[in-house]
Amino acid sequence: MLDVWSWLCELHALDLPQALELASSKPVRASTARMVRLQVRDGGGDSVAFVICMEGFENSLEEVLWVSEVGKLSSEKPFLPFVIQMLQDILLDSPAAQDVMCRQPQARDISPEPVAWLMDSYSQESFSVFFDLVLLIRLFRQCVFDSPSEVGSFYFDSLLGPNVEPLLRNDRPVLRAFLAAVGTDTERQFTRAVGYMLTKWLISREIGLGVGLWSVRGLVPVHHNVAVSYVNEAHGLWVMKGFVPVEAMRVTRSSRHPMHSHILDAKDSVLKYILAHQQLEVVVQLEYSVRFHDGYIRVSARIDNVRLHVVRLGLGNDNNDSEMSFANERHFPSRVRVWVGPEEGARYVGGLTLGRSTGNVSREVETERVMKGAFGNSKVPQVKAVARTSTRTKTAAWRWDQDAEGNSAVFDAVLSDTATGWEVASLGADRDGETFRRRYMGANRLFTKSGGVVFGADAYGDGVEWRLSREMEGSVLKWRIGGQVWLSYLPNDVKTSFFETRVVEWGGEVDLPLMQGKQS
């Protein structure tokens, strides 16, 4: 771990200039080590300058990150402006989804209050993890796009690679608190900046293996635990949010397997590159209530909203004519599974009641009988009978099921091909997927024009209930919320045999106070 924040907090007792080595390596054919350092220098007057130095490369480079205002390092939070400026730079450089109609032309100024609150509320060690992540994102543009390629490779291999997964683990509370405190707009810009950086890193790792975007280990893309997610409670809702680059999701089905060649033609290589620059963004909202009865406490929950979007990650200069021809090729949600319930091993739950029966496909049968006869002069009676029977089956593209795992309720939505009946997330081999071509067009399309899907309470309004012992009144319980999302790709406009399905899993806990004054 870098632990840059702890080093900064001790600067007031040190003489300038001071430098901290962020990463170093000694190349095989060079006499000097390659190094990235953070240096603090005298900025003139009472100010100090923070400079990132890249040494040992063909050309040494320096980039000024921040120059403090006069006297700022003597204040109570001397480096708060430094953190705010780095965050602001990240938001200004965040990739905007090209198909989001309401995107803003530029990021708004980030408020210092949430960041100052994080500094006061969490330990120096916890905030240091968040600061290291912010610093890595801030250095991404300078090292990868604004420097020679050898600097970018060094950044991925020696600086980002060893630190990114520990910094993004779900047990990092400051990152979750930051996303929940700064508001949806800033959250979206920040997570897309993270996703874009991770996507470039994942692609660089796969290319470094010498097999394009495929690993030599079974020709399956390398999976990394670099998703960002959190769970919180707000105004009677349990909210779970998740953000993950598609390239970081685990592959479950693919047209590429060890029996196929890993060499892609030019068209499929461009397609793979486009599909890699996408991010899944998920919002799950569960409405809950707590009611007290004679002898027991009833906790209820129902799906309020599930929103799944697949957005493109790319800066304005990423677009070219060859890529724009694949603009309508993207992954789409094919299954979503949400579970909610008390902590594992809870003995205070007396029963779980589900709100929906297992559905059966409804059939309508029509029978028609026609009898014709001819009598009279004919010596042989003529009778003609005609019977017609028809069966109509009503099917829906999305099927919602409800189940239980222990004391947890499970909501499961699965996308199926209405023509063939096969489930998209679990099958795919030897399927042409014609039903899902032109899937973002037409009045009966299954997805929004921007490539996502939204489930409201009208799609799944049946709730679930838990009955708890009345002895638990006055306590604060831990309630678990988690989910899995599957994304699939089938050709939309282009002709290709490539398909795949990927999956990601999230989870977290919220506090559930069982107090009369806290009931919803």
75 Cβ neighbours under 8 A, 6+ residues apart: none
Distance CA 241, CA 179 (A): 10
Residue type, 41: R
Arithmetic mean of pLDDT, 454-461: 79
Percent of the chain with pLDDT over 70: 78
């992540």: which residue's tokens?
133
Average pLDDT over residues 364-387: 63
- Encode 302-358 in three state secondary structure: EEEEEEEEEEECCCHHHCCHHHHCCCCCCCEEEEEEEEEEECCCCCCEEEEECCCCC
Q: How far is CA 1 from the centre of its chain?
A: 24
Yes or no: say if 306 and 285 are a contact pair by the CB < 8 Å rule.
yes
Please tell me the distance from the alpha carbon of residue 452 to that of residue 355, in angstroms, as a whole number: 27
For the chain, give the mean pLDDT. Answer: 82
Is 301:340 a contact under the CB 8 Å cutoff?
Answer: yes
Vertex 136, ends 135 and 142: CA angle to 5°?
95
The whole-number pLDDT of residue 221 equals 45
Whole-number pLDDT of residue 373: 62
Residue 263: predicted pLDDT: 47
Cβ–Cβ < 8 Å for 140, 156: no
Q: Are the beta carbons of 97 and 103 closer than 8 angstroms?
A: yes
Is the pLDDT assigned to residue 458 strictly greater than 60? Answer: yes
Domain ranges of the chain: 1-150+167-208
Q: Which residue has the higher pLDDT, 90 or 495?
A: 90
The residue that leads in pLDDT, 219 or 43, is 43
Give residue 285's pLDDT.
96
pLDDT at 384 (0 to 100): 64
111-117 mean pLDDT: 93
pLDDT mean over 356-370: 66
Q: What is the pLDDT of residues 287-315, one digit of tens each?
A: 999 999 999 999 999 999 999 999 999 87
Query: Averaged over 351-368, what is the pLDDT?
Result: 72
> Between residues 484 and 145, which one has the greater pLDDT?
484
Helix (H, G, I), strand (E, B) or coil at 104: coil
More confident residue, 354 or 458: 354
pLDDT digits (tens, 9 = 90+) for 258-270: 434 444 556 677 8
Task: Determine the Cα–Cα distance for residues 21 and 2; give it in Å rounded to an integer.
Answer: 9
Of 295, 406, 392, nearest to 344 (Cα)? 406
